[in-house]
Structure 1
Amino acid sequence: MSISLHFTGIADVYKFFNLDQPLKHPLVAVIDFSDVDEQVAEDTRISGDYYCLLFKRYDGNNVKYGRKVVDFNNGSLMCIAPNQVLEMETDIGAYTEKEGWGVFFHPDLIRNTSLQQKMKDYSFFSYEVSEALHMSEKEKQIFYDCVQKLDGELRENIDGHSQAIIVSNIELLLNYCSRFYGRQFITRKSVNSSVVVQVEKILSDYFGKGKLQEQGLPTVKSLAYQVNLSPGYLSDLLKRETGKNAQDHIHYFLIEEAKTILISTDKPVGEIAYLLGFEYPQYFNKLFKQKTGKTPLEFRNMN
């Protein structure tokens, strides 16, 4: 029977890990997994109201996050947003060879800070665990040093500088995530290239075989599902490889289809917009001009 646990605050994290020491800060925690006693039953679903950076290595343990199961034998970093769900598929309390760390911070910690405005740029929080960051030994050490500095600051008495220093350390960790994910996209270029080919074929078939009229406009979510990636990871991968994100690729094929209809038929623009899945012609006109520099009628008249 599946068990669901939802943590509303950092105090719940301490309780979950059976930590007896006083909570150092009400909105942020650093956990050393080699020092805690986890007892989680099989098929437990865990979520929380906080962000989490989670680096762990277990012998023989599987965790599911999204659609895929991933082992932690080699160690990898997951970045988890509030209310995302981790599903433990085995009894992790049965494994004694474990190491790693976790940084947990509540959104209230960064509210009204510059970091809050930047969180939307850290798209890796929308990735699945199968798209976790696999780090080199050097990268692991860089992260560990940052975590140690954050933990050291949490051990200091809170003063007028604490908030800024804590938030700055967290932002540094997230910036390193961005850098190392950029490296990972490059080192997996051959795999990424095959994904680009898959995306191009899926969209070509979709628009070339009449699926647009049957199923409406494809979405980034549906496209990502077909290549077994999360929407965020797919968009970042495509942006890295081609300069265009997933939505841009969909729009490219849509505009190419629109050009074909405009040139080969005399259908009114409003009807074409409807055929292409637009409820309002003005939205089609705006997108077409944005992508081509011309309105649909201007394009038709030129050709």
Structure 2
Amino acid sequence: MAFQETSDIPGLNLEDLRLTGFKVHKLSATAAVPVRAGRRDFYKMGLVNGDMTIDYGGQLLEIKGTVLFFVNPKVPHSIVRRVNRTSGYACIFTESFINNRELQDSPLFSIGDNPVVVLNEEQAAFMTGIYQRMVSIYSGDYPYKAGLIRNCIELIIHEALRIQPSQNALPVRNGATRIYHLFVDQLERQFPIERSTEPLKLRTAQDFATDLSVHVNYLNRAVKQVTGKPTSVHIAARIIAEAKALLQHTDWSIADIAYALGFEYPAYFNNYFKRIAGTTPNSFRKV
């Protein structure tokens, strides 16, 4: 299934979104709920009515009826199945737009919590009213509409937390599996390496934990629980696999390959490669 890009959202201008920090719109009858895309700097929350299955960070979520759906920009997500047309509203905003750290770190936007809040008829009517107000404010010319939109976002988040308290008590296996899938997704996004001038950015467990906004000990426990292997072993195996591909299929120098893989000096790369692969890069290239 093709993933919807940000530019496909009706009336959305990426440059305007970066400048204003927010966008509110009504979903067309055929539009998908927020789906996986390359962007990773926008938070999303939607009021969605439909019947569908969403893959959210490796966890399948069933959506039936009217729900609030909160999307952390670091979590890959996509529609797996949609039974009928969806309707509702969506609000997209940047991290800097919501400058309240408490809200940014709320359970609804955390990696470990369920991002779907099921609404009853009364709650759905209340939330619909807020979203309709936001759409009206967004399309109007009130000079301080950003503040009003921010207040509406905060109200929705707090109401959602009141309706559905944090579910961090979900089964440990589910949480570990989700973190593992997010880690693998981040790891694979870095490859293949196509330019020797752009070094690998994520090379250690701490790098990945920081990027995923989790503690490194939590990441290590999750990966070890799911696979039986330390995070560092997975990272090393993928780096060595890429190193072998570059040695075999490019004419880059050893120094260029070392730099592309994030090593400051070729000697560090040589020692790393030999320790894991059992041979030197030069010897491997000559085989």
TM-score by length of 2: 0.50
Structure 1 or 2, whichever has the larger Rg, is: 1
- In terms of fraction of residues, the more helix-rich structure is 1
